[in-house]
Structure formats: C-alpha cells, structure tokens
Amino acid sequence: MDHLQEGIQRLGYQFVPFLLAVVGHEVGHGLMASLWGDKTAKDAGRLTLNPLPHLDMFGTVLFPVINMVLGINVLFGWAKPVPIDPRRFKNYRKGLFCVALAGPFSNFIMAFGCALVLCAMVRFTPPSFIFYQEFATMLEIGVYINYGLGIFNLIPIPPLDGSKIIESFLSYSAMIQYEKVARYSFFILIALLFTGVLSLLSGPIVFMAHLTLGIASMLFGVSLI
C-alpha cells in the first residue's frame, strides 16, 4: 500500500509538468512544420497549448500510470502526434529533419525555462508563500520530465522522433522498410519498459537536469540544496 501511495503522490506532482511537456513537444513539431511550408497542424487546430486536442489515451494517460506503478521516477509518454504532411515541405529531407528535432528541442528549452523560473522563485519569493513548496517541486520535476521526454523521443524506434531524424538521411526504399518497424513499436516499448532498458536513460537525463539547474542557480545567485 505504501508503494501505491508513493506512486500516486509522484503522479500527482508529475502529471501537470508532464502534460505541459508533451503538449509543448507536439506544438513544437507543428510550428516547425509551418515554417517549412506545411500548415496541416495549424489547419487541424493543433497549434494550441490546450491539452485536450493533444491527449492520447495510452501515451498520455495509461503509459504514465504504468510508469508510476512500476516505480519509475520520471514519467515517460507522449501526446497524440500532430498531423504533418512532409510532401508540403519546401525541402523534404531538411524539413523532415528539422520538424523531427523540433519536438525534443522544445522540451530542452522548456527544461531550461523551468529551471530559470524555479531559481527566480527561490530568489524572489518568500518560503512562507502558501504554495511555495508545491510550485518549487513541480518546477524541478519539470526540468527532469522535459529532459526525459526529449531524450526518450530521440530513441530511433518508429514513430518516435529519433526514427524520423534517421529517415531524413535514408533513401525512399530504405525509409519504407524502416517504417515497417512501427507496427511492433508498442511491443518493443513495453519490452524495454519491463526489462528496465529504459532506465538506462536516467543517466543522461539526470546529468542534463543537474547541469541546467546548476547554470540557472549561478545566474540567479541561489542554492537549490
């Protein structure tokens, strides 16, 4: 029961920053696609921070809950992919590369933003503020979750962003063969999750989070210890 209660508490603190992270990730894809000439996401009403159009029942709800039940400290998951038509890109390969990278890059920007807001809060907000600890915890979690989501999506398994980055360098026939892996992606991810392979991502996630928090702390002259 204690394990379950701990998981529910972690989910309560992490779900809001997780939801913002996955929504920002998809909006990043859509905005970059628009810059390369594809307005599909914009026309579908997906360039919004409203989480409802982005919700995916498995990736945004069930997968994070499974994470918590298994005791994984940082939520992994995804939102409903924004609709993108690469045929509309001004340059197919460069557009595909930039649009794929835009999602993780958006998360890295949000991670740094969370660190800056956290340090600004520590610097200028009195600890007596009623929701001080809750906001501080969620902002710190936001740093880890955004790095977690960004790095997770760089895994080269279709349809994750890492696979699209690789596809931007492949021939058409090789791309078609590579995309066939997508039909097994669900089972591959579940296997990686249950075998603990995904836990290997914790190293780079923690390193980048600590580095970012350290830089933000120096900028504001505060200590987060």
Taking the C-alpha atoms of residue 109 and residue 24, their distance in angstroms, rounded to an integer, is: 10
pLDDT computed for residue 172 by the predictor? 86
Residue 117, amino acid: V
pLDDT of residue 1: 47
Q: Which long-range contacts (CB under 8 A, 24 or more apart) does 102-105 make?
A: 102/28, 102/29, 102/31, 102/32, 103/25, 103/26, 103/28, 103/29, 103/150, 103/153, 103/161, 104/25, 104/149, 104/150, 104/151, 104/153, 104/154, 104/161, 105/28, 105/150
Say how far apart CA 86 and CA 93 lie, in whole Å: 9
Q: Which two tokens stand for residue 34?
A: 């628009």
Q: Are 119 and 222 in contact (CB under 8 A)?
A: yes
Of 89, 74, 64, nearest to 167 by C-alpha is: 89
First to last CA, the chain: 30
> Is 26 annotated in the active site?
yes
- The contacts of residue 38 (CB under 8 Å, 6+ apart) are 84, 85, 86, 88, 89, 95, 99
Annotated catalytic residue, options 6, 26, 140, 167? 26
- Read off the pTM: 0.89
Tell me what pLDDT residue 72 has. Answer: 66
User: What are the CA-CA distances from residue 60 to residues 108, 145, 149 (Å)?
Assistant: 19, 13, 12
Query: 116-148, pLDDT tens digit by residue?
Result: 999 999 999 998 888 899 899 999 999 999 999
Return the domain boundaries, the chain: 2-220
CA–CA dist 103, 26 (Å, integer)? 6
pLDDT at 198 (0 to 100): 80
The confidence score (pLDDT) of residue 66 equals: 78
**What's residue 15's pLDDT?**
85
Q: What are the 10-residue block averages of pLDDT along the chain, 225 residues in total?
A: 64 86 95 96 92 87 76 73 93 96 97 97 91 92 93 90 94 89 85 82 93 96 85
CA distances, 221 to each of 72, 104, 114 (Å): 32, 28, 16
Backbone phi, psi, residue 124, to 5°: -115, -10
Closest CA to 152 of 78, 95, 71: 78
Q: How many CB atoms lie within 10 A of CB 133?
A: 10
